[in-house]
Amino acid sequence: MLDIKFIRDNLDDVKNSLNKKGYVFDDIEFSKLDERRKGAMTQAQSLQAEKKKASKQIGALIGQGMSPEEAKAQVMSSIDADLSKAEQDAKDAEQALQELLMTIPNVPMAEVPVGKDEDDNVEVLKWGTPAEYTFEPKDHVDLGAPFGLNFDAGALVAGSRFAVMSGPIARLHRAITQFMLNTHIDEHGYEETYVPYLVNRQALEGTGQLPKFEEDLFKIPQAQGEKDLYLIPTAEVPVTNLLRDAVNDTQLPVKKVAHTPCFRSEAGSYGRDTRGMIRQHQFDKVELVQFVRAGDSEAALEELTGHAEAILQKLELPYRKVILCGGDLGFSAAKTYDLEVWLPGQQKYREISSCSTFGDYQARRMQARWRNPETGKPELLHTLNGSGLAVGRTLVAVLENYQEADGSIRIPAALKPYMGGLDRLRAAQ
């Protein structure tokens, strides 16, 4: 969440910056709650001081022959009642203010362009040249079917927006995952991390998915008395929360990579990308997460994005890099680069990775800190994450970019060691 002092000292700037995200910040409500909290706390502190002074009055009354119980009742009854009310008022005001702060998005960085949606994102670069075909290129649904990609089977056992992969396509999917993990571990310095696929509400609040985006999540109700759990929408949630509620005496940066399935209800996407694997309820992703000191977060975003780009370059997949405009920027993000891979079957670039810096926004929600050895004092971490990459969409890109006229799929050179040296998938296999 945002620093309350920062908001208080920069009300107009915060309001104007959040307008870039299309969020209307109610500065009047914020100021009202803030003043209510400060007033209640001041009153409680004043009554506490009065209570301390009253102890001398009790002593005097006892000296005059009154019993301790009578003396305390005479002096303290009114003060205790007023103090109890003031402390409750302060508690209620603090809770109301915290609830408001949890709904306020992160402030976008100055360089984030103004815009309403993805059409206003700004292209930074293009890499690679889309291939020219002597035939009409197919999309991944038609290409994958002969190799074991089955959406009817997914619908049979789970419903729409699920897929089953068998045989060659399942092996290719696994090969892509292993290639990504090994590259990030061996070449980019990430530590492989295995995390739960179910998380509690506090974890989702820490990274910003809750309270606003509950409808996008799959909730798993628990037995009475137990806290409900949620299927993870991304490994960002459990991995980032590993440093929650602690002062970490660790050397920065901390760089972690995790491969997990991800689960999203896709609320609000009715009718969008209903064909194929682009928008599924369950998909795999290799996630990159970094924890850095405040002064290093902007450089870390460039580095992390470069690590995701390296996967696309090694696979020789044409892509473009865009910076998201304010209207397309995520709730918790201060700045985001999207990588969009070229899909011949759609004749367009489609998102395959989002890489974001959050500043101290998530860390403040999680109270994730580190001890600065230069000062010996705890400081909030800065967090970053990005897809390195979405495995299913990478599979789609490989199928479509490496297709041949006869329906076979060439295996990218980078994946051959993970495919037993196989150089292509053929329908006759």
Annotate 142-181 with three-state secondary structure.
HHHHHHCEEHHHHHHHCCCCCCEECHHHHHHHHHHHHHHH
Task: Report yes or no: 416 and 194 within 8 Å, Cβ to Cβ.
Answer: no
Phi, psi of 396, deg, nearest 5 = -55, -45
Tell which residue, 87, 66, 88, 85, has the closest CA to residue 75: 66
CA distances (Å), 369 to each of 12, 195, 350, 402, in order?
A: 29, 20, 36, 46
- Return binding residues: 234-236, 264-266, 287, 351-354, 385, 387
Task: Report yes or no: 319 and 340 within 8 Å, Cβ to Cβ.
Answer: yes
- Return binding residues for L-serine: 234-236, 264, 287, 385, 387
CA distance 100 to 37: 13
Tell which residue, 73, 85, 6, 76, has the closest CA to residue 40: 85
Task: Report yes or no: 393 and 341 within 8 Å, Cβ to Cβ.
Answer: yes
DSSP-derived secondary structure letter, 233: S
Full DSSP string of 398-416: HHHHTB-TTS-EEPPGGGG
- Return binding residues for ATP: 264-266, 351-354
Tell which residue, 246, 335, 232, has the closest CA to residue 287: 232
CA distance 225 to 203: 19
